[in-house]
Structure 1
Amino acid sequence: MPRIRVPGLSRSFTTCITGIGNPEPQYACTRHNAGLFMLDLLKEELSHSSRSQPYLPCSTTKKVKKCQWGDNLLLRADGDYINLSGKTVVPLWNRLGPDFTHIVVHDELSLPVGKVQLRKPGTSVRGHNGLKDIAKRFGGGFYRLAVGIGRPAERDSESVAQYVLAKFTKEERSIIESQGLARAIDHLRRLTC
């Protein structure tokens, strides 16, 4: 894959990893923000903490922050509600040009807590409204890095909404940090190397 020069950034990039979630700090540590939580874990782990670069506001929209890691551009989309993720990130993706590999990191009800799955472009968005909005505005040409959050016993829409907007338990966070992060890194390394 060719290296891409992004105006205003000092490196060339081939991959854009975008974490989606609801506005923080209001929704920080909620299950619906598992994509942002995982993006932050990836950034810290892969940049070896001591050299970690901070997220900086994007010049085109303050609703998205950016950071660079190797050949990867990390975008943290938490300035709008997750169901409007396409409205928030697709204009930025379009500015990057057509040669990027796009990966969206998101929460996934159909996976147990801590399980991480990489799905190829064009596969089902499994009812995730944030992914639906991205697909509507961009098409299906992006990978999905799904972070399992489990599912409540009750399946009605009100119970599900309360569940995804509730904060992770300490145990759930620990599982994602200890097991999910390693799986996510493995998926990304196999995809981007």
Structure 2
Amino acid sequence: MLMNIKLIVGLGNPGSEYRDTRHNAGFWLIDRLAAQWHAPLRDEKKFCGDCARVRAHGRDIWLLKPQTFMNLSGKAVAALAQFYKIAPAEILVVHDELDLPCGRIRFKLGGGNGGHNGLKDIQAKLASPDFYRLRLGIGHPGDKNLVSAHVLNKPSPDERNLLEHAIDKSLQHLPLLLDGDKDAAVRALHSA
């Protein structure tokens, strides 16, 4: 299937108290991409999020940071996708990933949600799991009872550096994804 990404969503929680938490890694990437593309994000009430439209790689691409809180991310994604007739397979969701070591990156199409409430809600609202995911590893605390505190707290300075490096690498290789060269992107993103 030929990739044709029209919407890039970064997951996180709104509010200053969450700004620097691990759960907001998707927001961090969107903020960096918006700055790189000179595309200021604006609050769009009808899409329940901060978004921008950019002309890049021969098409319009939307950037979206849902402002609904993580558990309701699908509300914003579905609102924008339905309005602009963007199919699930034209969406790339960037999110924090517990099941990857901090700083690792993985890219895939579809699959489960791994207990990630943002992904779970997007799957429900789109009635499909078949969207692309860019997974930014934040590491697992080792005990499922510590997961909530882990994702809602700030990473250590070393972990933040690893995450920033992962975002740098993701942005460097994003053009491969947007140009449809999935295999080259996967090789580049998945290399240590």
2:124 equivalent in structure 1: 136
* Contact kept in structure 1, 2:40 and 2:52, CA below 8 Å: yes
Residue 167 to residue 23, structure 1, CA distance change in 2 (3 Å):
same
Which one-letter code corresponds to 1:73 in the other structure? W
**CA RMSD, aligned part only?**
2.1
Residue 26 to residue 141, structure 1, CA distance change in 2 (3 Å):
same
Residue 131 to residue 187, structure 1, CA distance change in 2 (3 Å):
farther
1:65 equivalent in structure 2: 50
1 CA distance for matches of 2:176 and 2:114? Answer: 24
1:182 equivalent in structure 2: 168
1 CA distance for matches of 2:53 and 2:121? Answer: 25
2 CA distance for matches of 1:14 and 1:166? Answer: 31
Shift of 1:32: 0.9
Shift of 1:59: 4.8
TM-score, normalised via structure 1 length:
0.79
Shift of 1:19: 0.8
1:5 equivalent in structure 2: none
1:3 equivalent in structure 2: none
Which one-letter code corresponds to 1:189 in the other structure? P
For residues 40-83 of structure 1, what are the alpha-carbon distances to aligned partners after superposition, in whole Å with 9 as ceiling and x for unaligned? 12333x32xxxx2321122514x301123424211111x22201
Tell me how many residue pairs correspond in the alignment.
Answer: 171
1:43 equivalent in structure 2: 34
Which one-letter code corresponds to 1:105 in the other structure? V
Is 2:148 aligned against 1:161? yes
1:173 equivalent in structure 2: 160
1:126 equivalent in structure 2: 114
* Contact kept in structure 2, 1:42 and 1:181, CA below 8 Å: no
Shift of 1:147: 0.8
Which one-letter code corresponds to 1:144 in the other structure? R
1:4 equivalent in structure 2: none
Shifted more, 96-105 versus 21-30: the winner is: 96-105
* Contact kept in structure 2, 1:31 and 1:166, CA below 8 Å: yes
| Residue ranges of structure 2 left out of the alignment (5+ in a row) | 180-192
| Structure ranking higher in helix proportion | 2
1 CA distance for matches of 2:138 and 2:151? Answer: 8
1 CA distance for matches of 2:91 and 2:116? Answer: 17
For residues 73-124 of structure 1, what are the alpha-carbon distances to aligned partners after superposition, in whole Å with 9 as ceiling and x for unaligned? 11111x222011112321221111045710111110011111111111x222
| Residue ranges of structure 1 left out of the alignment (5+ in a row) | 1-12
Which one-letter code corresponds to 1:36 in the other structure? F
* Contact kept in structure 1, 2:34 and 2:40, CA below 8 Å: no
Residue 185 to residue 57, structure 1, CA distance change in 2 (3 Å):
same
* Contact kept in structure 1, 2:24 and 2:96, CA below 8 Å: yes
